Structure 1
Amino acid sequence: MLKRMDVKNLTVFPQAELHFGRQLNIIVGENGAGKTHLLKMAYTLLAVSAEEGKKPSSSSPTKTSLQYRIAEKLVNVFRPEQLGRLARRKQGRERCEVKMFYEDKNWNVSFDFATNSKSEVNIDVLPSKWVTDAPAYLPTRELLTIFPNFISVYEGHYLDFEETWRDTCILLGAPLQRGPKEENIKRLLRPLETAMDGSIELDRNGRFYLRTKDGRLEMPLVAEGFRKLGMLSRLIATGALLDRGFLFWDEPEANLNPKLVRWVAKSIVDLSSSGIQIFIATHSLFLLRELEILLEGNRKSLQETRFFGLHRGKAGVCVKQGASIDDIGDITALDEELEQTDRFLEEES
């Protein structure tokens, strides 16, 4: 479990300490407030540790290996012109600092870099062990349609796509989970397959299909909302999201109609209750309300949930956090939706 992340001078954030919940963490803010930056930073450090730990020649972490791997992954995930561009611009020579604290203290890591850094970071706290569970990152765009041959093309050419796409495609292409965990997988898949009215299949040629009672549809012919649900269902079916681990999901509501958003909200709560620590970024009032409704019916999940509100100011973006949406302050994007509802009701009356 990731317990806390401290950032200083990271892009739009002068300083922030994020205390995470064991199950579900919801980051809310307007466009440009840095929601995705927080997701990507946490994901990057988890991914680097998990990737290094799975190498056949893996040994205990060293500063030499980590200072290059973290820098390389940050550049590939964020896609800046150089690493130092992730450090907040201000007068003087301030450094960007990031600290990650886990339930297992052997995973704790801390590093910093300057605005002119290019290819390495300075490791301040070195973990003594690698993270054991690979994180999953779902971007706002669906990836099932681009999956065929994407990994080989990405690794063999210079493509201007963030590395989260490549990482997620690797997880999507993993074989299906078999054995005693299948019943739990079926339970988690049920709401998604009900919403899609079918299941996701991967053929031998590396193409995904939606299998329905009337046959199967190739992914480019499937509605984009169903494709997004399909990514999540595939990660569950392969065991990438089962029992434990981490899921980062940027704007789950993007390109989904309200009915599908309800199914997504249910899957998010079900997964978080099953042992997956989930981090989502959103500015959808509908999704937030649906999550609140589901969490109110599950007191244990509600106690393990944290909300984070991002607020712009003259000095940068500050973070308000708490156990409920009432603790994170007024978010302009949400207020606009509420204000529109009020105006509509006034016109009707």
Structure 2
Amino acid sequence: MTDFPLAHLDARKFAALDDTDIALSPQLNVVLGDNGAGKSQLMKLLYSTTFVLQDGRVTGETSIREYETRLAKKLVGVFRPNSLGRLVTRTQGRSRAEVSVRYGNANDALEFSFASNSKTAVKITSRPSMPTVSSQDETDRPVFLPPHELLSIYPGFVSLYDNYKVEFDETWRDTASLLGKKPLRGPREKNASKAIKPLEEVLRGSIFDAGDTFYLQRWGLGNLEAHLLADGERKLAEIVRLVTTGTLLQSGYLFWDEPEASLNPATQRVVAKTIGHLAKTGTQVFIATHSLFLLRELVLELEGKDTEVRYIGLRADKPAQSVSSLDDLDFLAALEAEAAQEERYFSSPVDAL
């Protein structure tokens, strides 16, 4: 189980998150809203703060000044603004973004702010105390999965990112680095094998690496390079790899942006089961989705089954919502549009086509 689960976010004038005061589930958080409402920005903000705090546990850093430098650098690397102040919600005149992130089991929240004219300066006024650990493998590592799969670009990507200016945000580099970790051996390997079994059944094989290239050992058909797999298969293979290395095994944080991308409905059902399994066994999961199908599968998989789910609704013109039941969300334009289309199609299929 994650030692310090994200518990609460209060963000004011941070990018699209102008009025966001929400409780978070230690198990599964489903972020919903229209395009431009701030779904990815919310997850990237939580990813950035968690990355910096967990990294500090390894380095043993205690200086507030060093944390301010690292946090500012991470926010710029993840969001890729021309300057840090560009992340302040646009208003006339100068303004200031203010963020408070609270972690369960931690005594204080991480509280920081920065001005709209800031280049790289963040001001931290409060920071949680977390015990140091001896290595990265012993921390709860955050993972950010973008809609595009990373498995096929993994060979050489970290070196490319570190040595050249490339137009990818820093989450891609971080995740590629985690994909390169070696698989578990020993008692925890059995737990990992159990967790990935449903995904391997969909893939009809197991994932392994040979040097700097990933392969799928297709049962009865030999080995296939990751580049020869479908996009959806590579996304599933990413999760398999992150579980087998222990990054997402009964611990850690998963931020998954549009997990339904490139996946057919049958595979989305497997993804919903995988998300449910990760959430129930100790990984704190955040997903942002536009898929009504995936959302319904998650409801069927988890609600009423001893899993705490928070549905986070974002709208550009309203305060953010965090509720424990989908029925309590005020408005979900994309999902309601899909439901309306379904009703039109079955009531008058000729006209709908």
Do they superpose with TM above 0.5?
yes
SS in 1 for 2:316: strand
C-alpha deviation, 1:104, in angstroms: 2.2
Does the Cα contact within 8 Å between 1:61 and 1:127 map onto a contact in 2?
A: no
Greater mean alpha carbon deviation, residues 31-40 or residues 132-141: 132-141
Partner of 1:179: 186
Rounded to whole Å, the distance in 1 between the matches of 2:38 and 2:62 is 30
Cα distance between partner residues in 2 of 1:80 and 1:234: 31
Q: Which residue of 2 aligns with 1:281?
A: 288
Amino acid at match of 2:116: T
Corresponding residue of 1:325: 326
Q: Tell me, which stretches of 5 or more residues in structure 1 are unaligned? A: none
Q: How well do the aligned residues superpose, as a CA RMSD in angstroms?
A: 1.5
Contact persistence 1:70–1:120 (CA under 8 A): no
Could you tell me how far apart the structure 2 residues matched to 1:18 and 1:282 are?
18
The corresponding residue for 2:136 is none
Q: Distance in 1 between matches of 2:324 and 2:78?
A: 30
Any residues of structure 2 matched to 1:335-346 within 5 Å, and which?
335-346=336-347
Give the secondary structure class of the aligned counterpart of 1:299.
Answer: coil
Cα deviation, 1:56-98, whole Å, max 9, x if unaligned, reads xx23422110111101000100111111111001134221011
- TM-superposed deviation, 1:156: 1.2
Q: Which residue of 1 aligns with 2:32?
A: 28
Cα offset, 1:330, TM superposition: 2.0
Residues 1:87 and 2:93 aligned together: no
Q: Which residue of 1 aligns with 2:218?
A: 212
**The residue matched to 1:15 in structure 2 has which SS?**
strand
Partner of 1:61: 62
Instruction: Please tell me whether residue 196 in structure 1 is matched to residue 200 in structure 2.
Output: no
Corresponding position: 1:230 with 2:237: yes
Residues 107, 275 of structure 1: CA spacing in aligned structure 2 closer, same or farther, 3 A cutoff? farther
Q: 1:291 & 1:170 partners in 2: Cα distance? A: 29
* Residue 109 (1) aligns with residue 110 (2): yes
The 1:160–1:107 alpha-carbon spacing in structure 2 relative to 1, beyond 3 Å, is farther
TM-score (norm 1): 0.94
- Counterpart amino acid of 1:345? F
The number of residues matched between the two structures is 339
Distance 2:348 2:341 in 1: 11
Deviations 1:173-201 (A, max 9, x none): 00001111122111110111111111111
- Counterparts of 2:183 and 2:320, CA distance in 1: 39
Aligned to 1:2: 6
- Do structure 1's residue 240 and structure 2's residue 247 form an aligned pair? yes
Return the TM-score normalized by structure 2.
0.93
Partner of residue 15, structure 2: 11
- What is aligned with 1:170? 177
User: Equivalent residue for 1:51?
Assistant: 55
Residue identity matched to 2:30? I
C-alpha distance in structure 2 between counterparts of 1:62 and 1:126, whole Å:
11
Structure 2 unaligned residues grouped into runs of 5+ = 133-138
**1:161, 1:287 → 2: CA distance?**
27
Tell me how far apart the structure 2 counterparts of residues 93 and 154 of structure 1 sit (CA, whole Å): 34
**CA, structure 1 residues 130+116, in 2 after alignment: closer, same or farther (shift >3 Å)?**
farther
Deviation, 1:53, is: 2.5
Task: Give the one of 138, 148, 151 matched to 1:141.
Answer: 148
Q: 1:24 touches 1:279 (CA, 8 Å); kept in 2?
A: yes
| 1:130 Cα deviation from its structure 2 partner | 6.0
Does the CA contact (< 8 Å) of 1:200 and 1:234 recur in 2? Answer: yes
Q: State the distance in 1 between where 2:237 and 2:193 align.
A: 14
Q: In 2, distance between residues paired with 1:282 and 1:247?
A: 14
Mapped to 2, the partners of 1:245 and 1:122 lie a distance apart of: 27
Residue 258 of structure 1 deviates from its aligned partner by: 0.5
Superimposed CA distance per residue, residues 8-39 of structure 1 (whole angstroms, 9 cap, x where no aligned partner): 00112222112011210000111111100000
Secondary structure at 1:93 match in 2: coil
The alignment partner of 1:181 has SS state of: helix
Matched, 1:118 2:119: yes
Query: How many Å separate the matches in 2 of 1:167 and 1:49?
Result: 15
Q: 1:348 deviation in Å?
A: 4.1
C-alpha distance in 2 between matches for 1:180 and 1:126:
36
Partner-residue secondary structure (3-state), 2:207 = strand
Shift in CA distance, 344/309, structure 1 to aligned 2, threshold 3 Å = same
Partners of 1:59 and 1:143 in 2: how far apart? 31
